Each structure stands twice: as C-alpha cells, then as structure tokens.
Amino acid sequence: MDDDEHMCEVWQRAVEHTRSRSPASFEQWFSSVQFDRLEGGVLGLTARDEFVRDWVAEHFVPDLIERMVSLLDLSEGLRVEWRVSTQLERPVCRIIPREARVDGRASVRPPPRSDRMAIVRPVNDELSAMLNPKHTFGNFVVGPSNELAYAAAFASAGGGGPRYNPLFIAGGTGLGKTHLMLAIAHKVLQERPDARVVYVSAERFTNEFIMALQHHKMDEFRARYRTACDLLLLDDIQFLAGREQTQEEFFHTFNALRDADKPIVVTADKYPQQLQRMPERLVSRFTSGLVADIQVPQLETRVAIVRKKAHLEGIVIDDEVAVLLAQTVQTNVRELEGALIRLAAKSSLTGCPVDIEFARPELLAVPARRSDPMSVQEIQRAVSNHFRLSNGELLSKDRHKSVAFARQVAMFLCRQRLKCSYPELGRAFGNRDHTTAMSAVRRVEALRQTDPQVNAHLEAIEQKLASSEE
C-alpha cells in the first residue's frame, strides 16, 4: 500500500469513528465538506462556505485530528488548511435516498452527483434528533386534544389535505409540539432526500444571528434561511420575545419564504395573540395561516401513549399499569413517558415484572407535580368561560359591548392578581396600547364599587380561580 492509499485509509477510519458519535448530524455537515489531502502533517479540507468551515472546525475537526494522530502514531498534531469553494466534486457525505444506502450508512467517497441533486444544508447540531426514527407521524398518538395539529402537520409534510402557510402549533410543555415538527422533517426527507430542511429553535436562530453580526457574515446567514431553504421549522418562537433585531431579521426571513411559497411551521407555548413583547406585524403573520393547538390529552389518549411508548421501548406492561400511569401523570406527555421508563429501569434492576403490584408503590412515591403559579392565560380562560366567549374573541379587536367588558374584566384581574404592568397587559391582550389596559383596569375598579352586578361577576370568577389553585 503506497503512502496516498495509507493516508486515505487513515482519513476514512477517522471519519467513521467521528461519524459514529452522531451519524445524522455528521452527514448533514459533511455534505458540504470535501477531503483534499493528508500529507506532510497537513490535513487539507474544502468547505462550501465560511459558515460551514467555522462550524465543522469547532465541532468535528478536533475529534478527527485526535483520531488521525492516534492512527498515525504522531508525536505532534496535524495542521488543518481550509479552502472555501462552492464547487465540491467529492463531498465527504452526500444526502442520498435511504434505499440507496448500505446498512444504513452513506459512502465516504460517493460517486459524483448530478447538478440536480441538491445538498441538504446543515443548520444546527440537533439534526440527528430530527432524523430519530421515533419522531415520526406513525409514533404520534392522535386524540381529540391534538388531532387538528396532527392533521395540519401531516399536510405540511406533503401527506395530503390543504396546506396552511404558516402553520402555528401552540401548546404547553411536553405535549408533542416538537415531535410533530420533527415528524414533518422526517417525512419530507424520506420522500425528498434533496429537500433543504431547516429545523432550528428560536434560541439557536438568535445565537446564529448574533454570530453572523459579529463576524460580518449576514449574507451567508440570510442565504441559509431564505434562498437555501425549502422548509423552515422554527421551534419555541416565544424565545424571540424582546429581541428586536432578531425579530426584524426573522420578519424578513418569514416574508421571503412565504413569498416563495416555501412552508413555514412555528411552535410556541402560547397562542400568537398571547406572545409578549412580539411586534404586531409578526403576530398578524402567524395568524394569517392556521393556528392549531395541542391540549392536555384525555385519559384514553394518555393510556394509548403509554402503550405506544412501551411498544417502542420493548417494555411489557399490562393494561392496569398503563391506566395507573395515565391517572398518575396527567398534564405532561414527556413526564408520562419518563415515569414508564423509570418503572422499566427499576424492573430490570430488580428482576420484577412491571405489574400492578410492582407499579403502584413506585408511582405513589412520585411527588405530586407542583401547580404552576396563576398565569395570564388561566385568567383569560376563566373569564372567557364565565362570559361564554372563545379565547380568540377575548383577544380580538371586537369592540362589541359584551366582549369589551369581558376583556376589561380579564385585564383588571390580571392586574390585581399578577401585578402585571400596563404594557405587559396590552401585549397579552392582542398587543394593545398600554393606555387601553390602564383605562380598562380603572373602569372595572370604579364599577366594582358602584355596580353590584359587576361585583358579582368578579366574585364568581375569583372563586373559580381560587378553586383551580387548590
């Protein structure tokens, strides 16, 4: 074996070693990196752009160098020389159809690609989670609490039915928003391996935006999220609250993608109108498509979730245990699945089957979930129920006397119970001006002293709120 062949073998072994730690993430990033040479203590690489170069240099190159130094038994490290070129004849990894893979692995040195085969642009270090086979539509348990969100997400992935753009998925923590996002990505990449899918959290989007500003790479940043993106999946949009520059950048990104008819899916823990410190023009764009919420699943759905998780993890449980789990953990699907895993772990350690006799004392020992402090959303919900309005009506621009009065009552209670500032109240009630909130609070405060009917409404709502806190 000559020196060139030996060096190529060392490189390939280092690649396989590094790739094994996070296969999907490695393949995504190294679809935009080319191996040029390994000689004279120098590793030559080419990156598609500077952003890819910097990310790979920070997150993958140290591990590659360490492995190659070990294989070559060098006393000193290797030096990396980078080139930047949009023309990559031999990318280290190429996104290819799954049926063309061998043992689920892509070739390190694939044959030249055609111009039609687009490379899926790497966007973050969580792409391995995006391709996790457990995050699919088939593994998502559908029930009355999430069927609209599921159907809309499935349509966004090209599964049939009307596609809404944007799709805004709202729901509390641990109810399956991210599962649906990743299921969309998973399905799209299965059917169109050349699709350029961007899955990113709002926090990651913000950090990348800041990095691009600091390093004068805004052109590359905008290219990634606008022109080199076929599908944008942005998780936890509420974390953009108050970040005015990032909001401005996302606003233009949103417009560019929608004008090009490229799907946008966004998740948040609140409805768009309830997002605080979010500009009205962004909120209006979120509501221009479809807003689908995910509620806390009912008992039957929670039982189905336990059974599905047990099946996926190979855990044998009977129906009594599934029901007991579903009755014990009621508000968070992630915690429900975690409780099942804990039971299975203890069962494997003790050798006891996961039956009702084993599960009951274990679940009784689980501390009761502390109720969250009263929130603006809970007060809004209580007021809406009392006046028989929908949450949308309460937050709308409707100035009908009955709707306006209910809105004023909700603002008054939020001010009294939560000590919200007037600007916060305005934002929480459809991005209204703080003077509107101030006027509403003062009006209800005055009516409470003079109008027995208003006082009766307030007392009834406050009793409901007090009972919900117990």
Tens-digit pLDDT profile for residues 367-404: 545 444 568 888 998 999 888 888 888 888 877 888 89
Residue 232, pLDDT > 50, answer yes
**299-364 and 376-469 share one CATH topology?**
no
Residue 420, pLDDT > 60, answer yes
Lay out the sheet containing 79-84: strands in order across.
33-39, 42-47, 79-84
- φ and ψ at residue 68, rounded to 5 degrees: -70, -40
Q: Please state the pTM of the whole predicted model.
A: 0.54
The whole-number pLDDT of residue 246 equals 92
Give the percent of the chain with pLDDT over 90. 16
Residue 439, Ramachandran bin (φ over 0: left; ψ between -120 and 50: alpha; else beta):
alpha
| 3-100 maps to CATH 1.10.8.60 | no
Residue 103, Ramachandran bin (φ over 0: left; ψ between -120 and 50: alpha; else beta):
left
Q: Where are the domains of the chain?
A: 3-100, 127-294, 299-364, 376-469
Q: Return the residue matching tokens 């953009």.
A: 240
Chain Cα centroid distance, residue 60? 24
Please check whether residue 333 is in contact with residue 339, taking contact to mean a CB–CB distance below 8 angstroms. no
Residue 351, pLDDT > 90, answer no
Largest CA distance in the chain: 97
Residue 443, pLDDT > 60, answer yes
Residue 69, pLDDT > 50, answer yes
Q: Is 144 helix (H, G, I), strand (E, B) or coil?
A: coil
Q: How confident is the model at residue 34 (pLDDT cuts 50, 70, 90)?
A: very high
One-letter amino acid for residue 129 of the chain = A
The whole-number pLDDT of residue 413 equals 92
Q: Indicate the fold that domain 299-364 takes in CATH.
A: Helicase, Ruva Protein; domain 3 (1.10.8)
**Which of 201-215, 281-295, 410-424 is the least confident region?**
410-424
The per-residue pLDDT of the chain, averaged, comes to 81
Smallest Cα–Cα separation from 293: which of 435, 428, 181, 145? Answer: 145
Q: How many Å from the N-terminal Cα to the C-terminal Cα in the chain?
A: 76
Please check whether residue 378 is in contact with residue 465, taking contact to mean a CB–CB distance below 8 angstroms. yes
Tens of pLDDT, residue by residue over 175-187, are 889 899 999 988 8
Section 413-421 average pLDDT: 83
Task: Retrieve residue 189's tokens.
Answer: 């990449």
Tens of pLDDT, residue by residue over 239-273, are 888 888 999 999 999 999 999 999 999 999 888 88
The whole-number pLDDT of residue 411 equals 92
The whole-number pLDDT of residue 328 equals 83
* CATH match for 127-294 among 1.20.120.1200, 3.40.47.10, 3.40.50.300, 1.10.3720.10: 3.40.50.300
Q: Which position has the higher pLDDT, 80 or 135?
A: 80
- Cα–Cα distance list, 1 to 35, 70, 334 (Å): 20, 19, 53
Most confident of 163-172, 323-332, 460-469: 163-172
Q: Indicate the fold that domain 376-469 takes in CATH.
A: Chromosomal Replication Initiator Protein Dnaa; Chain: A; (1.10.1750)
Please check whether residue 375 is in contact with residue 269, taking contact to mean a CB–CB distance below 8 angstroms. no
Buried/exposed code over 204-222 (b: 16+ C-beta within 10 A; e: otherwise): bbbebbeebeeeebeebbb
- φ and ψ at residue 171, rounded to 5 degrees: 175, 160
Rounded CA gap, 261 and 425, in Å? 35
Section 347-351 average pLDDT: 81
Sequence-ordered list of residues with C-beta below 8 angstroms from that of 422, at least 6 positions apart, any chain: 415, 434, 435, 437, 438, 441
Section 24-28 average pLDDT: 68
**Which of 6-20, 238-252, 276-290, 352-366 is the least confident region?**
352-366
